[in-house]
Amino acid sequence: MDERELLVLGLLMTQSQHGYQINDFIERNLGQVSDMKKATAYSILKRLDKQGCVDVTVEQEGNRPPRQIYSITDRGRELFYDLLRSSLAHAENVTPAGEIGLMFIDHLSRSDAKELLKIKLEKMNQLIEACSSIPSHDEGIGVNLSFRHRLALLECNRTFLTETIQELENESTV
C-alpha cells in the first residue's frame, strides 16, 4: 500500500528537491511505472510535511512563483524504510506500481532484500493456490478468462521473484 508516498520519499532520499523537479522526473523517467499526476505529488508532499516527514524551505527568485524545496527528515527516512520493507514483502498488487519498492531496493542490504522478497514469494504462492481453485461455474468463457488472466500474471510474478532472489544470491557470493 501507499506506493505513492514511497515513490516521493524515495526520490527525496537521494537529494532535496522541489515539487516541479519530482514531477518532472516521474513524468520523464517513470511514466512507464507510475501514473501519478502532478497535483497528486504536490498533495503528497503537503501530507508528508504535516506528518513531519519532510522539511520545507521557500526559495524566492525574482517575481517567479516561489519554489518550495523539500528535504527528507529522520522521521521521513524511518517512514521510507517502513514502506520499502512492506512493499518488498507484500504480495497483493500484481501491478508495476505495486512493485515500486524494487526501484529502491539498493537502500537495503542484499540479504535484507532477499529475506523480504522470500516472504513475498511465499505469499505469492498462496495467492496462486487460491486463484487456481476458483471454479468456473458459468457457461460463458468470460469469468474463466479473467481468472486465467490473473493467474498468468501471478505466475509471471512468481517467476520474476524467483529469478530476482537467485540473482541476489549469486551477487553476494561473487
Partner DNA sequence: GACCTTCTAGTCAGGTATGACTATACTAGT
Partner DNA sequence: ACTAGTATAGTCATACCTGACTAGAAGGTC
Q: What is the DSSP annotation of 24-48?
A: HHHHHHSTTT----HHHHHHHHHHH
Determine the Cα–Cα distance for residues 60 and 70; give it in Å rounded to an integer.
14
* Cα 9 to Cα 31, 71, 84, 108, 128, distances in angstroms: 17, 9, 10, 15, 31
19 makes contact, choosing from a second copy, DNA, none, with CB < 5 to 8 Å by partner type, with DNA
Residues from 61 through 100 that contact DNA (CB under 7 A) = 62-68
Strand (E) or helix (H) holding 80: helix 74-89
Counting contacts by CB under 7 A, is residue 21 touching DNA?
A: yes
Q: Which of 24, 111, 142, 166 binds a second copy (CB under 8 A)?
A: 142
State the nearest-atom distance from the C-beta of 42 to DNA, in Å: 4
Counting contacts by CB under 7 A, is residue 43 touching DNA?
A: yes
Counting contacts by CB under 8 A, is residue 150 touching a second copy?
A: yes
Residues from 73 through 132 that contact a second copy (CB under 8 A) = 93-96, 99-100, 102-107, 130-131
Candidates 19-27, 81-89, 106-114, 152-160; binding stretch for DNA (CB under 7 A): 19-27
* Size of the chain in residues: 174
